[in-house]
Amino acid sequence: MDADSLLLSLELASGSGQGLSPDRRASLLTSLMLVKRDYRYDRVLFWGRILGLVADYYIAQGLSEDQLAPRKTLYRGAPLLSPQVQIKEETRLVSVIEQIDKAVAIIPRGALFKTPFGPTHVNRTFEGLSLSEAKKLSSYFHFREPVELKNKTLLEKADLDPSLDFMDSLEHDIPKGSWSIQMERGNALVVLRSLLWPGLTFYHAPHTKNYGYIYVGTGEKNMDLPFML
């Protein structure tokens, strides 16, 4: 979620039960501002919180102008050396974040658009999805380089708008049904939760510009998903 609208976003994402305490919120606001200044990022996202045994990690990501370029990830927390395993916890942390990002970081359709020169930009005229669009999985894209786009048939590609539809949509995610879409607050908020990585919550208020995702969890994939559906 965007650092600029952190408070509102946390409020909207609270349906999953995990949030931030007031002191954390205050300190995050300040530190995200500092990060933005120091690293000269265009946008700073608060990625989420990974719960650890002793302490938690707070993760932020910085985006440059081109939204799809590889993001820089920053964390705050005390890395521990796990007594059993040789891998440094830091490495493990980074790999987990990357896995989660690749798998389940999502944005609504129309929030980014691609210019003919290549880089993607934030769409300033994005007014939000309508209610009927918000309930469909096809209105959300993975926030990463497209993987399946080339495999689409020509007929499907003809319907796509190349400036908006340049990322994979959630429709064809495997396993099918690994996303839960719900309307909360009496249809004023649409919340997507990933069942594959429990703890990832994406929220969007239809007809507004508010959207974002946050991960709060232990950083473990739910390998039992096919049994659970």
Partner 1 sequence: MGDLPPYPERPAQQPPGRRTSQASQRRHSRDQAQALGADPEERQQIPPDAQRNAPGWSQRGSLSQQENLLMPQVFQAEEARLGGMEYPSVNTGFPSEFQPQPYSDESRMQVAELTTSLMLQRLQQGQSSLFQQLDPTFQEPPVNPLGQFNLYQTDQFSEGAQHGPYLRDDPALQFLPSELGFPHYSAQVPEPEPLELAVQNAKAYLLHTSINCDLSLYEHLVNLLTKILNQRPEDPLSVLESLNRTTQWEWFHPKLDTLRDDPEMQPTYKMAEKQKALFIRSGGGTEGEQEMEEEVGETPVPNIMETAFYFEQAGVGLSSDESFRIFLAMKQLVEQQPIHTCRFWGKILGIKRSYLVAEVEFREGEEEAEEEEVEEMTEGGEVMEAHGEEEGEEDEEKAVDIVPKPVWKPPPVIPKEESRSGANKYLYFVCNEPGLPWTRLPHVTPAQIVNARKIKKFFTGYLDTPVVSYPPFPGNEANYLRAQIARISAATQVSPLGFYQFNEEEGDEEEEGGAGRDSYEENPDFEGIPVLELVDSMANWVHHTQHILPQGRCTWVNPLQKTEEEEDLGEEEEKADEGPEEVEQEVGPPLLTPLSEDAEIMHLAPWTTRLSCSLCPQYSVAVVRSNLWPGAYAYASGKKFENIYIGWGHKYSPESFNPALPAPIQQEYPSGPEIVEMSDPTVEEEQALKAAQEQALGATEEEEEGEEEEEGEETDD
Binding residues for partner 1, rule: CB under 8 A, are: 11-12, 14-24, 51, 53-54, 84, 124-125, 127, 130-132, 177, 180-188, 193, 195, 198, 217-218, 223-224, 227-229
Residue type for position 192: L
Q: How far is the CB of 203 from partner 1 (least distance, A)?
A: 11
Of 103 and 181, the one with the shorter C-beta distance to partner 1 is 181
Residue type for position 212: G
Of 21 and 86, the one with the shorter C-beta distance to partner 1 is 21
Burial class (CB in 10 A: 0-12, 13-18, 19+), 200: buried
> CB under 8 Å to 24, separation ≥6 — which residues?
58
221: Cα within 13 Å, side-chain hemisphere? 14
CA distance 56 to 78: 8
Nearest to 148 by CA among 130, 184, 113, 173: 173
Q: How far is the CB of 217 from partner 1 (least distance, A)?
A: 8
Q: How far is the CB of 7 from partner 1 (least distance, A)?
A: 11
Of 82 and 95, the one with the shorter C-beta distance to partner 1 is 82
Q: How far is the CB of 147 from partner 1 (least distance, A)?
A: 25
Of 10 and 93, the one with the shorter C-beta distance to partner 1 is 10
